[in-house]
Amino acid sequence: MAAVYTGLFLIGLGFLVKAFPNLIAGYNTMSEKQKEKVDIEGLSTFMRDGLIVIGLIVIIGYSALTSLGQHAFLDVFIPSVIVIGVLFLFFKAKRFDQNEGGLVKSKLKGVFMIVVLVFVLVMIGNALIPTGYEINNDRVKFTGDYGTEIKVSDIASISLIDKMPPIKARTNGLGMGPIRKGFFRIEDEGKCRLFLHSFQGPFVKISTKDQETIFVNFKKREKTELVFLAIKSVKQ
């Protein structure tokens, strides 16, 4: 639902920008003489329409991906739509400004590009870093985003399954393609913690005595099987 609220916020912001053009960054700091060289009617209309379109794409895209069960792509799709949309508005807005240098100064372009690039790289990097693990006689620990630590004595059961139950919804997690980390609602299982790195099985399923269910797998089948055998050996 956060995506829907984000889309509605962008749509509402679009109408606000049209009603109150001084909300537009750059325009609100101009002198009256500079503002006379700006087609504010055209600029505010352009910004309104652009923000509404971005908001609608976020809402429609979220609904479509959710209905198709493609929850793993939501963490990539929504930020990508917003970043690309804002970049488009940012660079196209200058055509409404006849002042020397325009609304978008070269230095501001550089700063904005760096911020966007860092944001995208951090988002991708966090998703791509493989989940780490530590296993000993007392505990099993998964490190990285949404990491957790389980006492061996708290493990109720552990199994190796070939196929994941259908993922119904993402409640608090991140994903990129086959990578899904965090909390997801799983069919017949309820809310579960996932550390998945591949669409292909096998998958380690861990159930704890406090009724938490964890699914883990890695890109290489051998690594998944190794983790399963290691946990099973300390559990016995």
Asked if 204 and 192 count as a contact pair (C-beta separation under 8 A), the reply is no
pTM given for the model: 0.57
* Token pair of 222 as six digits: 């051998």
- pLDDT tens string 146-194: 888 999 999 999 999 999 999 988 887 777 778 888 899 999 999 999 9
Nearest to 137 by CA among 153, 122, 123: 153
pLDDT at 106: 46
Strand, helix or coil for residue 102: coil
Strand partners, 149: 141
pLDDT tens, position by position, 58-75? 899 888 876 776 655 666
Domain ranges of the chain: 2-128, 132-235
Using the predicted structure, report yes or no on whether residue 215 has a pLDDT greater than 90: yes
The CATH number of 132-235 is: 2.30.29
Closest C-alpha to 57, from 3, 20, 129: 3
The confidence score (pLDDT) of residue 216 equals: 96
